[in-house]
Amino acid sequence: GQQLNQSPQSMFIQEGEDVSMNCTSSSIFNTWLWYKQEPGEGPVLLIALYKAGELTSNGRLTAQFGITRKDSFLNISASIPSDVGIYFCAGQRTSGTYKYIFGTGTRLKVLA
Amino acid sequence: DTEVTQTPKHLVMGMTNKKSLKCEQHMGHRAMYWYKQKAKKPPELMFVYSYEKLSINESVPSRFSPECPNSSLLNLHLHALQPEDSALYLCASSQDPTSDEQFFGPGTRLTVL
């Protein structure tokens, strides 16, 4: 199936550092979701974005809906060991069609 | 109750077996989904149920048969699977067909021998 380009593919960072990752597409999207998935578990919804330019925070996480509607960004500030996991973006082209296209994932490892 | 539950957590089956995966949510959500996720890959949509009716089948082989007995339950019946069907099977739900936020269960890790 179709996938969104997500970068970086993986990151190794020190505890306390800030993290940035992004998701890009050649197509316009109406909705962006960001999920975190830990080993053996299902994805957990972190942030939902609905409007171009929208900036939304959830604790130490901040996500932005790109102005062009073709990209989205996720930042994690002051990372902690429990931030470890795979972060997926998911984009929906047409609202209410149930179908999300998932990004390839960013694997984050935090070194204490 | 704000979660999606799935049983079993792990399942090992032979290629001639028949088994079922179960998903349940009590959030009053009216859209439910099955996804398949291979290792180190993103989830891939298989089926969507909207108000207990199948609305999307992403060209899934007939050896996978979904069922939605009521608004809280979603089953995935498995028969004559192949080893390449081994994966994490995820169930998700959303409030209604127009809601954009999908909430996932923990998944069933399926191994086909």
| For residue B96, pLDDT beyond 90 | no
Nearest CA in chain B to A31: B100
Closest to A19 (Cα-Cα) out of A56, A58, A52, A62: A62
Contact A20, A106 (CB under 8 A): no
Closest to B28 (Cα-Cα) out of B85, B103, B88, B109: B103
Contact B5, B71 (CB under 8 A): no
Nearest CB to A98; choose among B31, B41, B43: B31
Q: How confident is the model at residue B97 (pLDDT cuts 50, 70, 90)?
A: low
CA atoms of A89 and B77, how far apart (whole Å): 29
Q: Is B98 close to A95, i.e. CB distance below 8 A?
A: yes
On chain B, the residues whose CB falls within 8 A of the CB of A40 are: 106-107, 109
Q: How many interchain CB pairs under 8 A, A with B? A: 66
The reply to whether omega before A8 is within 30° of 0 (cis) is yes
Closest-CA distance of chain A to residue B100, Å? 6
pLDDT, tens digit (0-9, with 9 covering 90-100), for A42-86: 999 999 999 999 999 999 999 999 999 999 999 999 999 999 999
Sequence letter at residue B31: A
pLDDT, tens digit (0-9, with 9 covering 90-100), for B16-72: 999 999 999 999 999 999 999 999 899 999 999 999 999 989 899 999 999 999 999
CA atoms of A19 and B84, how far apart (whole Å): 35
Nearest CB to B44; choose among A1, A35, A42: A1
| For residue B80, pLDDT beyond 60 | yes
Closest to A99 (Cα-Cα) out of B25, B100, B5, B24: B100
